[in-house]
Amino acid sequence: MKLKLLYTFALLFAINIISVSAQSSKKQQPLKIVNYGENINNPLTAKELSFINEVYLDKAQTLVLSKPQRVKDIKHILRNRVYIQEHVGKDLSPYKLLSTVPLFNNYNKELRRDTFFDSNKFNVLKYSFDFYSRNKKVMTYRIDNTNYLINIKPQHN
């Protein structure tokens, strides 16, 4: 009886060791350093500041503007990673619609989707895009009822 119990514990111990080693071998590779570009050193523009204030309202100073790294990340998103282009092809079906992306209205409950698209006034920060994904592909979304695409370059190339 004791021998059966000993074998059972030994078997459970071996299964546990195999399980732990399998999990540790699946660890993700460490992320590469983000290359921000020289334009990140320039101060926020009035337009960028208005985008931040629209989304964060009275929390903008506390959550973004007082945090140099957060400001740097947002500048990188607005200046280097997001670009809007008009699609010249006919088939737009492969692209997810902007309307499928939830609003990022955690701090501004009055935030609304744009009813009319204007590329100069479009605030990408209003939407819950996965800006910090480990995905290495450009994420593309179609702006509903237009031929315009929003492209978000990955943070890590």
Burial (0-12, 13-18, 19+ Cβ within 10 Å), 77: buried
As for how many domains the chain has, the answer is 1
Q: How far apart are CA 14 and CA 112, in angstroms?
A: 56
Does residue 87 lie within any of the structural domains? yes
Does residue 44 lie within any of the structural domains? yes
Query: Against a cut of 0.85, is the pTM above it?
Result: no
Write out the two tokens for 85: 């282009």
Does residue 13 lie within any of the structural domains? no
Domain containing 115 equals: 37-152
pLDDT score, position 155 = 86
Does residue 18 lie within any of the structural domains? no
Q: How far apart are CA 110 and CA 142, in angstroms?
A: 24
Does residue 116 lie within any of the structural domains? yes
Q: How far is CA 46 from the centre of its chain?
A: 23
Write out the two tokens for 78: 């607005």
Residue by residue, pLDDT tens for the chain (157 residues) are 666 655 555 555 556 566 555 555 556 666 677 888 899 999 999 999 999 999 999 999 999 999 999 999 999 999 999 999 998 878 888 899 999 999 999 999 999 998 889 988 999 999 999 998 887 889 999 999 899 999 999 987 6
Does residue 61 lie within any of the structural domains? yes
pLDDT score, position 153 = 93
Does residue 135 lie within any of the structural domains? yes
pLDDT score, position 34 = 82
Does residue 121 lie within any of the structural domains? yes
Contact call for residues 98 and 152 (beta carbons, < 8 A): no
pLDDT score, position 88 = 86
Write out the two tokens for 108: 């501004």
pLDDT score, position 69 = 95
pLDDT score, position 151 = 95
